[in-house]
Amino acid sequence: MQDILPFDPSLMLIGGAWCRPAATLRLADPSTDEEIARIARGGPADIDRAVVAAQAALDGDWGRMTAAERGRLLLRLGRHVQDNVELLAEIEARDVGKPLTQARADALALARYCEFYGGAADKIHGTTIPYQTGYTVYTLREPHGVTGHIVPWNYPMQIIGRSVGAALAMGNACVLKPAEDACLTALLFAHLAQEAGLPAGALNVVPGLGSEAGAALSSHPGVHHISFTGSVATGAAVQRAAAANVIPVTLELGGKSPQIVFEDADLDAALPFLVNAGLQNSGQTCSASSRILVQRGVFDQLAERMARAYRAKRIGRAVDDADIGPLVNATQKARVLDYLENAAGLPLLARVEPASDLPETGHFVPACLFGPVDPDHRLAQEEIFGPVQVIIPFDTEEDALRIANGTDYGLVASIWTRDGARQMRLARKVKAGQIFINNYGAGGGVELPFGGVGKSGHGREKGFEALYGFSTLKTVAAFHG
C-alpha cells in the first residue's frame, strides 16, 4: 500500500502542519485483513490543538476570505479531486474493501460536492425585512465557527464532501475525525486541499478512536457545531456531549428503508433498483434498502426474479472489482453472521457464497435474500448493515403504509406504481427524509437534501439546504429615524 500512497498515512494535519502522533493504530485491508498502514491515534490533546488551530484560521486569513474566494478555492479543490479519482478509488478499495467501481463513484461524488458547494458559496444571501417606520432590518448568514465532523467508514469520501464541503463554503473552520477503519482518503483529501491553497487551520484532520478523539471532539467547548454520521447509540452519545456545550448537532444515523412495489409497477424497471439498493457497498449503506414490500399478486414472480438477480452476483476482493466486497472489519462480519444465524427457519430465497479462492482472513459474508418475512421479525426491523434483504408481502395500500412506517427509522423510501394519485398520497404519508417515485436514490443526488426522521436522525446535509445547516442567522435592526 505504501507504494501507492503519496503521503505518510501516520500523520495528522493540525494548523497546516503534518504532525506525528504519540501513538498509532493498525489499518487493515478488509479483503485480506493484512496491515496496509499505520494511522494516527489522535487523542484529546491533539483535538484540542486542532480546535485552537481552527479558531486561529477563523480569526486570520480564512476568516477574512470573501465568499467568492472560498468558492473559487473549493472549485480548484474539486478539480484536484477529479484529477486523482483513480488513486482515491484504489486507496478506498484497499482501505474499506469497497469494489473499485463503487469507490470510483464515491471519488467522483467528492469532486462534485466541491464543485457544487464551490459554486454555491457566494449565492447564500440574507434578506431585508419590512418593519416599522424608521428601521432598516436585514439578516446575515454567518458561519457557526469551528465545526466538528465525525465520519464513519462506509462512505468516507461522500460524507466528507457533503459535510466538510458545505461547512467550508459557508466559512467555517473544520476539525475532521475520520473513522479508525477508513482514514486514507480523508488524509489524501486534506493534502489536495492544501495544494488547492486552503489556508492553514481551515481543515484539520485528526484520526483516532471514537472513544478518544471522537469523544474529545464532540465535547470540546471550542466547537460550535457537530456533524455526525454513524450508529444510533454513538449519535445519541455525541448529542449528549454536545448538549453540555449547547451547540447544534446534525445526526445521520441509518435506517431500514423500504421499497414498496405495487402490482401495477413496471417490474422490469424496478428489479435492478430492488436488488442493488440492498447490496451496494455490501449493504453497509445508511440508505440501503433492506426491506422490499411487495403486493401479493406479484410477490412470487418478483421474489423469483430477485433471487435470480442475486445468483448472478459475485462476492470477491474489492481490488478485483467484484459486485460485492468484504465487510469492513471482523466486528461487522460477526454481527452480520449473528443475524444470519438468527434467521434460521426464515424462508431463504437466495444465498450467494463468497468465491472459494478468497483469503480466509477476509471479512466476507454470504449475500442472503429472505421472503416472505413477517414485518415484526428482527431482520425486518433492525439495521443489519450487511448484504441481507427481506421481502414482505402486503395486500392493500393501507397495509403497505403501516408496514413501511412500522420501524423506528425513517431515512429514505421508494414507491413503485403507475398510479399517480397513489404516488402523491404515499409520498406524503411515508415517514422518511427522502421519497423516490419509480426509482431509488436518484443517482446519489449531491443537490438533494438528505437526512432522516425518527431514529434516522435530524438535520439535513447535501444540496443547498446544508448551507443553512452549516450557518447561523443574524438579524440586524438599524434605527435611523
Contact flag: residue 180 with ligand NAD (CB under 6 A) = yes
Q: Are 184 and 95 in contact (CB under 8 A)?
A: yes
Contact flag: residue 433 with ligand NAD (CB under 6 A) = no
Residue 270: which region, alpha, beta or left (left: phi > 0; alpha: psi -120 to 50)? alpha
Chain residue whose CB lies nearest ligand NAD: 210
Using the rule CB under 6 A, give the single segment among 12-20, 110-118, 206-214, 357-365 that binds ligand NAD.
Answer: 206-214
CA distance 144 to 170: 9
DSSP, collapsed to helix, strand or coil, labels residue 264 as coil
Residue 322: which region, alpha, beta or left (left: phi > 0; alpha: psi -120 to 50)? beta
DSSP, collapsed to helix, strand or coil, labels residue 51 as helix
Residue closer to ligand NAD, measured from CB, 174 or 237: 237
341 carries an active-site annotation = no
> Which three cell numbers, joined as nine digits, stand for 87?
488513486
Contact flag: residue 210 with ligand NAD (CB under 6 A) = yes
CA angle, corner 257, sides to 281 and 90, nearest 5? 15
The CB-of-223 to ligand NAD minimum distance in angstroms stands at 12
Q: In this structure, are strands 173-177 and 203-205 parallel, antiparallel, or unpaired?
A: parallel
Query: Which helix (H) or strand (E) element contains residue 339?
Result: helix 330-342
Using the rule CB under 6 A, give the single segment among 42-50, 99-107, 152-160, 425-433 that binds ligand NAD.
Answer: 152-160
Residue closer to ligand NAD, measured from CB, 97 or 254: 254
Residue closer to ligand NAD, measured from CB, 196 or 328: 328
Of 158, 26, 148, 162, which is closest to residue 95 (Cα–Cα)?
A: 26
Using the rule CB under 6 A, give the single segment among 196-204, 208-216, 316-324, 422-430 that binds ligand NAD.
Answer: 208-216
Of 65, 79, 73, which is closest to residue 118 (Cα–Cα)?
A: 73
Cα separations in angstroms, 286 against 203, 369, 463: 25, 18, 18
Placement of cell 434516522 in the chain: 456
**Member of 238, 302, 390, 466 binding ligand NAD (CB under 6 A):** 238
The CB-of-169 to ligand NAD minimum distance in angstroms stands at 22
Angle, helices 184-195 vs 85-96, to 10°: value is 160
> Which three cell numbers, joined as nine digits, stand for 148?
466538528
The CB-of-127 to ligand NAD minimum distance in angstroms stands at 34
Residue closer to ligand NAD, measured from CB, 196 or 288: 288
Subset of 91-110 contacting ligand NAD (CB under 6 A): none
Q: Given 180, 252, 383, 461, which residue is catalytic?
A: 252
Phi, psi (rounded to 5 degrees) for 186: -65, -40
**Member of 73, 96, 151, 223 binding ligand NAD (CB under 6 A):** 151
Subset of 328-357 contacting ligand NAD (CB under 6 A): 332, 335
The CB-of-329 to ligand NAD minimum distance in angstroms stands at 8
Helices (DSSP H) in 121-258: which residue ranges? 156-169, 184-195, 215-219, 232-244
Residue closer to ligand NAD, measured from CB, 42 or 118: 42
252 carries an active-site annotation = yes
Contact flag: residue 231 with ligand NAD (CB under 6 A) = yes
**Member of 161, 214, 362, 387 binding ligand NAD (CB under 6 A):** 214
Q: Given 114, 174, 183, 286, which residue is catalytic?
A: 286
Helices (DSSP H) in 23-123: which residue ranges? 44-59, 61-64, 67-83, 85-96, 100-120
Contact flag: residue 237 with ligand NAD (CB under 6 A) = yes
Give the residues lining the site for ligand NAD (CB under 6 A).
Answer: 150-154, 177, 179-180, 210-211, 214-215, 218, 229-231, 234, 237-238, 252-254, 286, 332, 335, 383, 385
- Active-site residues, by number, are 252, 286
